[in-house]
Amino acid sequence: MKRLKNKVAMVFGAGPNIGGTVAHFLAREGARLVVVDIDQANADKTVEFLRSKGSEAIAFTADSAREDQVAHVVAESLKHYGQIDIVFNASGKIHWSPVTEMDVAKWQECLMSYSTAGMLTTKHAARAMIAAGRRGSIIHLLSTAAHFGEASGAAYTAAKGALLNFSRSAAMDLAHNGIRVNTITPCGMEHNLWGQMRDEIVDPNFRRPERRSFYSRDDFLKSIPLERFPRASDIAWAAVFLASEESSFITGADIPVDGGLRFKYPAWRPGDSTGVNIKDYAKELRITRFGEEGEKLLP
Ligand SMILES: NC(=O)c1ccc[n+]([C@@H]2O[C@H](COP(=O)([O-])OP(=O)(O)OC[C@H]3O[C@@H](n4cnc5c(N)ncnc54)[C@H](O)[C@@H]3O)[C@@H](O)[C@H]2O)c1
């Protein structure tokens, strides 16, 4: 049986990586979709993909950090479908800078794009759910940045940390309406590392970026107990669970999707004893879009 039959889901930040894959998996479980992205081409591509699979979907171009735009797309979605049951929010723009060099405008833009966007999508979708008498599920995508300090990552860690605690408070505010608010925490995603893996393996002149928090892909892989990076499909499965009735008694929670990274002893590198390495790993990798495997990463 389809787990999200008769549900309507909104995905904010829905390019072909995480957001588009979540949209695909929610649609596969029977949900009708609203796809929202600041980049019209990304929203259109995702809707085109969903329709090619026989799913019902509409696209909007909007900035999740702008209240007028979020209010508008929520109102239009409610008008179109008559209900909203699920929200998945993955929007945002990272800003790397050491604290001593922090540019206030860039800091604010980063906080707006993750934390304020989280608040606005929750506020307007929850109002719509209440108005339509729906007991909905709202899911925000975090990052290990919500839980740890990261050199040059103060703007991002502050934004994701704020979104984590915002989500817990929103869960309390909305519990009596039967609306649940949860988060998912991935570590660095496999698709985000494709380019760097290629460079690190194939380019003999590869040099680490200047950023102090940068570690090699091999170091990163060796530190993950389950010995691989998270894929968009891993996030999408967690999102389907949080969106469905199977998680109906779970609210204010954070699901780590990080292969055990957050819970290991920090100095332990499991890969040192098992011999996993980035070259062998990357040999088998395939590029995925919307959770579907395509060409091999390396020639
Ligand atoms: N990629 C990683 O390694 C990684 C790791 C941990 C967490 N995350 C989180 O995943 C999310 C990014 O997902 P992705 O890897 O698929 O990245 P992506 O860049 O492929 O997708 C992000 C999408 O969000 C859209 N977007 C950005 N700002 C927006 C805004 N203000 N309003 C509406 N849409 C907006 C972009 O146009 C894009 O389509 C972010 O929340 C990020 O913090 C990513």
Report the pLDDT averaged over residues 279-290. 92
Residue 264 maps to a domain: no
Residue 211 pLDDT > 80: no
Query: For residues 31 and 242, what is the distance between their CA atoms, to the nearest angstrom?
Result: 14
> How far is residue 236's CA from residue 29's CA, in Å, rounded to a whole number?
11
Q: What is the mean pLDDT of residues 115-135?
A: 98
* pLDDT at residue 213 tops 80: no
Spatial separation of the C-alpha atoms in residues 23 and 101, rounded to whole Å: 37
The rounded Å distance from CA 38 to ligand 1 centre is 11
User: Is 60 domain-assigned?
Assistant: yes
What CATH number does residue 40 fall under? 3.40.50.720
Mean pLDDT of 211-223: 85
| Ligand 1 centroid distance, CA of 93 (Å) | 7
Residues with C-beta less than 6 Å from any ligand 1 atom: 12-13, 15, 17-19, 37-39, 42, 63-65, 90-93, 113, 117, 141, 143, 186, 188-189, 192
7-27 pLDDT, tens digit per residue, is 999 999 999 999 999 999 999
* Structural domain includes residue 197: no
Q: What confidence category does residue 198 fall into, taking pLDDT thresholds of 50, 70 and 90?
A: confident
**What length is written for the chain?**
299
pLDDT tens per residue, range 74-96: 999 999 999 999 999 999 999 99
pLDDT at position 1, please?
79
Output the pLDDT for position 4.
98
Q: How far is the CA of 153 from the centre of ligand 1 (A)?
A: 16
- Of residues 200 and 139, more confidence is placed in 139
On whether residue 250 sits in a domain, the answer given is yes
Please report the pLDDT score of residue 83 as a whole number.
98
The chain-wide mean pLDDT, for the chain, equals 95
Instruction: At 131, list the tokens.
Output: 């108005």
Ligand 1: residue whose CA is nearest its atom 12: 90
Q: Tell me: the pLDDT tens digits for 229-273? A: 999 999 999 999 999 999 999 999 999 999 999 999 999 999 999
Query: How far apart (Å, rounded) are the C-alpha atoms in residues 34 and 54?
Result: 15
Give residue 12's Cα distance to chain centre. 9
Residue 62 has pLDDT above 90, yes or no: yes
What is the arithmetic mean of pLDDT over 29-37? 98
- Position 137 in a domain: yes
Instruction: Please give the full DSSP string across 258-277, using - where no structure is assigned.
Output: STTGGGS-TT--HHHHH---
Q: Which of 108-117, 149-158, 163-172, 191-200 has the lowest mean pLDDT?
A: 191-200
CA distance 186 to 166: 18
Q: Which atom of ligand 1 is nearest to the CA of 235?
A: 10
196 has a pLDDT exceeding 80: no
Q: 165 lies in which domain range? A: 8-189+229-259
The pLDDT confidence band at residue 202, using thresholds 50, 70 and 90, is confident
**Residue 229 near residue 257 (C-beta atoms within 8 A):** no
Which mutation among 189, 194, 221 tests ligand 1's pocket best, with the greatest number of atoms within 8 A of CB? 189
Angle, vertex CA 97, rays to CA 94 and CA 101, nearest 5? 145
Distance (Å, rounded) from C-alpha 127 to C-alpha 123? 6
Positions marked active-site:
156
Flag whether 195 is in a domain. no
Ligand 1 atom having least distance to the Cα of 141: 41
Instruction: Give domain status of residue 202, yes or no.
Output: no
Total domains in the fold of the chain: 1
pLDDT exceeds 90 at position 136: yes
pLDDT above 90: residue 193: no
Asked, for residue 142, whether it belongs to a domain, the answer is yes
